Chain A
Amino acid sequence: MIRLDHLTKRYGATVAVDDVSLDIPAGAICALVGPSGAGKSTLLRLINRLIEPDGGCVQIGGAEAGTLPVVALRRRIGYVIQSVGLFPHWSVARNIATVPRLLGWETARIERRIDQLLDLVGLPPSLATRYPHELSGGQQQRVGVARALAAEPELLLMDEPFGAVDPVTRRTLQDALLEIQARTGTTIILVTHDVDEAVRLGTVIAFLSHGRLVQAASPAEMLRAPASAEVAAFFGGPRLGLRLLQTASAGERADFARTIAGEPVEAEAMLDEVVARMAAAGVTSLPVKDGQGRRGVISLDDVVAR
């Protein structure tokens, strides 16, 4: 578990992070959101001590981060930034091996790990000997994630990791991240400007404004009961309800006791996709099928039910 305990960071008269306390359970994906200048990136950098706090502390797995040697601490925490920051003079394999080499792993173990990671982030093994400038933006970002995960960190910090790639690639990378997280169980704290990304990826969303933590809740809770007008406006104001459709899947709302004819939607499809299908077909209910081949029905009433 990651515990932020009354964290404060001042720059002169401005308080960048103001008395933030937050518990993030192990295995969670916490999305830090909020307007520009809210202190999201500062908060992230306080966790791996690229910045030292003026007050409060960070606890990682029960140990206080401030008491650990800073270099050793950072080797336990993966770090991914928007500009990726791959070392241009090193091959993909050498980039991924960064932290294991710093930790002094044996060569054979490092090589096995590189193979595993390329597979984990969905890159072909042939890319290992390439250099960063030979890769596409999406591939570079995957290598960045592989590098951050190389030494099996208990925590992964991501500062707008997919901010610089096109929307289609972003979506693919988000799916890849969810899959990686499901396989590794790594706790992730992610800064994002993208509301959809926060709702899609976050198991917890933490909303910051002027350095203060305004609300921390699951996406569904935050969308149902935003703590302030600012939070509600951030998530879409009058259209906030549409985002609520991104927080539940068809399978969670479908009635599997009966079925109807037609092309079924997958049970994993989110409710926004169900509504889109209904609107396109001009109907108010659709058949559903899940992974085990069960069939059911979802109606517009089920979609908007609370």
Chain B
Amino acid sequence: MLLARPAAWVGALFLGLTFGMDRLAPLFSWLYPDLDRPVYTRAGFPELALSHALLAGSASLVATLIGIGAAVLATRRAGRAFAPSLQALTSIAQTFPPVAVLALAVPATGYGALPTLIALILYGLMPVTSATLAGLASVPAALREAADGSGFSPVARLWQVELPLAAPLILAGVRTSTIIGIGTATIGSTVGALTLGSPIIDGLSGSNPAYVLQGTVLVALFAIFVDLLFGEIERRLPRL
């Protein structure tokens, strides 16, 4: 039962390590006998995980809303002229290394969570937008014609026909965007955001490999857990 739902046991492992990292102090002492402090203590792991999740989660939410909204707009009659520039814009946003976006955002917004949030949103936009464009384009023309001929209003056609049919592709885009966001949020700690990247950054600058290991394992488990969760949702979508 548990093995059949990997999301459940990866999630349990992630939570267990988040709340029980202190108890593993003997393990890290044994692995790295030279270290005075074998477990990261500047902030608690539950606090780091929560902050990381909020940052990545809110960025994904905003990127999803903007991304789907922009793609929908670009496929309506009024916004069709805007479609090529949208594709170009989101591709450019993706080619910026996230560190560069962070570095550019800091002078504008100061240190902390805000520049990280901006970078994550910009970075998360492209997978959602291009997936939504692809999803909407995958709706057969005959179905759009049948919907129009039946007397759907444009909004009803979008909500009842186009978005449900595009949903699997859109969800795949949101999945990619969110997983990228969880990974990228880690480097937000270089500009002062509190994330699971904090022990990694501190460990690297303070030559403490135990910190690096703790942060890395938790970020990886978190990303895998969320990815598996999306997998569960995708499986629940009706097969067409």
Contacts and interface: CB of A to CB of B under 8 A. Distances in A.
A binds B: yes
Interface of A: 48, 50, 71-75, 77, 79, 81, 83-89, 98-99, 102, 131, 133, 147-148, 157
A180 to B, nearest CB: 18
Given A89-B164, A89-B165, A89-B238, A102 B151 contact: yes
Range class of the B interface residue count:
10 to 19
A75 B240 contact: no
Interface string B127-162: 000000000000010110111111111001000010
A75 B149 contact: no
B135 to A, nearest CB: 13
B161 A87 contact: yes
Given A50-B145, A85-B145, A87-B143, A99 B165 contact: no
A88 B165 contact: yes
B151 A71 contact: yes
Nearest to A102: B151
A157 B143 CA distance: 16
Given A87-B161, A99-B151, A131-B240, 14 more contacts: A71-B153, A74-B149, A74-B150, A77-B149, A79-B146, A81-B146, A84-B142, A84-B146, A88-B240, A89-B164, A89-B238, A102-B152, A102-B156, A157-B149
| Nearest 7 A/B pairs, CB to CB | A85-B146, A79-B149, A75-B151, A74-B151, A83-B142, A85-B142, A88-B240
Chain A CB within 10 Å, residue with most, of B147, B148, B150? B150
A71 B154 CA distance: 9
Interface of B: 140, 142-143, 145-153, 156, 161, 164-165, 238, 240
12 contacts: A71-B151, A71-B153, A72-B151, A74-B151, A85-B147, A88-B143, A89-B165, A89-B238, A89-B240, A99-B150, A147-B150, A148-B150
A118 to B, nearest CB: 18
Most chain B beta carbons < 10 A, residue from A72, A75, A85: A85
A195 to B, nearest CB: 25
Nearest to A144: B146
Which DSSP category, helix, strand, loop or mixed, fits chain A's interface? mixed
B143 A85 contact: yes
Contact of A79 (B150, B153, B161, B165): B150
Contacts of A74: 148-151
A48 B161 CA distance: 20
A88 B152 CA distance: 16
A130 B34 CA distance: 68
B155 to A, nearest CB: 11
Nearest to B152: A102
Contacts of A85: 140, 142-143, 145-147
Nearest to B156: A102
Contacts of B147: 85, 87
A157 B145 CA distance: 13
Contacts of A148: 150
Nearest to A88: B240
Contacts of B140: 83, 85
Given A85-B142, A88-B165, A102-B156, A133 B149 contact: no
A32 to B, nearest CB: 16
B142 A98 contact: no
A47 to B, nearest CB: 11
Nearest to A132: B240
A197 B2 CA distance: 61
Nearest to A99: B150
A79 B151 CA distance: 10
A75 B148 contact: no
B19 to A, nearest CB: 41
Contact of B145 (A81, A87, A89): A81
A71 B152 CA distance: 7
Contacts of A79: 146, 149-150
A75 B149 CA distance: 8
B158 to A, nearest CB: 13
Contacts of A86: 146
Contacts of A84: 142, 146
A247 B145 CA distance: 34
Contacts of B153: 71
Given A87-B161, A89-B238, A75 B150 contact: yes
A150 B140 CA distance: 23
A75 B153 CA distance: 10
